[in-house]
Amino acid sequence: MNKKNIRHLSFDELNEWILKAGEKKFRSKQIWEWIWKMHATSFEAMSNLSKELREKLEAAFLLPAITTNLSQHSEDGTVKKRFKTFDGHYMEGVLIPVENRQTACVSSQIGCSLSCKFCATGYMERKRNLTYDEIYDEVALLNEEAENKYGKKLSNIVFMGMGEPLLNYKNVLKAIERITAHDGLGMSARRITVSTAGVAKMIRQLGDDGVKFNLALSLHAANDKKRNEIMPINETNSIKALIEALNYFHSKTKNDITFEYILFKGENDSLQDADDLVKIYKQVPVHLINIIEYNPISNATFIKPDRDATQKFMDYLAAHRVNVRLRISRGQDIDAACGQLANKENQV
């Protein structure tokens, strides 16, 4: 008989099973809290349940939590974790400590199908989507790391790890629902940002669903010709389509929108590129443009511009009243920086 993952039950379904098993109704709440609030990874760990009930749960259900397979610690305090799923796949998540913030960068897929030329994950095959409870596990494990290493809980979550979150739409939204629930991790949705390479249809869907979290667009080029070359998804999701979708999203939610823009020497770092970016910025209620330093990967030949070229680009944006910030990369020495997550399974 196929056992069901207990975390895929609703509370009502769990309660129904508990009553049929001849147990008291309050046991449902106890189990629910073990699963979501206390992040139990086995039935045996549920110490306030009777041995008999734990055995019933073991016989009826699975609890396939992800595990930490490898931890790497950067000189700057960043921690990268390689996680292993119950079926033997790997993905990576990163804890980024900055001043008063503890940010978790989490993955939504095992691999990716979008083939962005500057991103190590884009050169991998997409194996499958992560389930919502696996995404929840990533956050819970990174939260444990933050508490153990820095004595602080996570303050922020960014879906900027492996995969395209909007191509795993239902699981990402369900994970966020559990992460923000009072009987889950209890985090504020306003401190969660979902980053997309640009799936216009699903950006609109976020607006229709009235989500509470913030949205980041990985733009990286300000005209279709250049963006098509480095991000093939742009061929079916043009900048014009994305502008319309982002405006629709904002009209429905009023949530913050950020543009992410990696600078590549001789590719997208000219003052003309900056001017094109200003024109897009003025068409969307963008909260901030993050300029990101390019982090080299073995598959690509892009080069990071020097600091002077970067500053000129940013000065041009600022002179045209663009709210712009340079996002300093963290964890480069352990391949944990933006664009470097690649699931190096042979790493030890």
Instruction: Tell whether 196 and 305 lie within a shared domain.
Output: yes
Q: Tell which of 12, 46, 62 closes a domain.
A: 62
Instruction: Give residue-wise pLDDT tens across range 259-312.
Output: 999 999 999 999 999 999 999 999 999 999 999 988 888 878 899 999 999 999
Structural domain total, the chain? 2
Residue 250 has pLDDT above 60, yes or no: yes
Tell me the catalytic residues.
92, 338
Q: What percent of the chain has pLDDT over 90?
A: 86
Residue 1 has pLDDT above 80, yes or no: no
Instruction: Tell whether 121 and 30 lie within a shared domain.
Output: no
Q: Name 115's Cβ contacts closer than 8 Å, sequence gap at least 6.
A: 122, 123, 232
- Give the pLDDT score at 290: 96
DSSP 41: S
Its domain, for residue 55, covers: 4-62
Of 42-56, 83-97, 326-340, the range with the lowest mean pLDDT is: 326-340
* CATH classification of the domain holding 47: 1.10.150.530
- Give the pLDDT score at 181: 97
The string over 105-124, giving b where at least 16 C-beta atoms fall within 10 Å of a residue's C-beta and e elsewhere, is: bbbbbbbbebbbbbbbbbbb
Tokens (6 digits) for 31: 């189990």
Residue 63 has pLDDT above 70, yes or no: yes
3-state secondary structure of 29: helix
Q: Which helix (H) or strand (E) holds 296?
A: none
Specify burial of residue 254 (Cβ count, 10 A radius: 0-12, 13-18, 19+): exposed
Instruction: Tell whether 137 and 263 lie within a shared domain.
Output: yes
Give the closest residue to 134 by CA, choosing from 205, 37, 66, 201.
66
- Give the pLDDT score at 347: 43
Give the closest residue to 96 by CA, choosing from 124, 122, 76.
76
Stretch 202-227: mean pLDDT: 98
Q: Tell which of 25, 43, 62 closes a domain.
A: 62
Residue 180 has pLDDT above 60, yes or no: yes
Provide the pLDDT confidence category of residue 346 given band limits of 50, 70 and 90. Answer: very low
Provide the pLDDT confidence category of residue 122 given band limits of 50, 70 and 90. Answer: confident
The mean pLDDT value of the chain amounts to 93
Tokens (6 digits) for 273: 């590129």
Cβ neighbour number for residue 70 with a 10 Å cutoff:
15
- Give the pLDDT score at 274: 98
Angstrom distance (rounded) from CA 348 to CA 345: 8
Instruction: Tell whether 107 and 30 lie within a shared domain.
Output: no
Give the closest residue to 219 by CA, choosing from 143, 129, 322, 124.
322
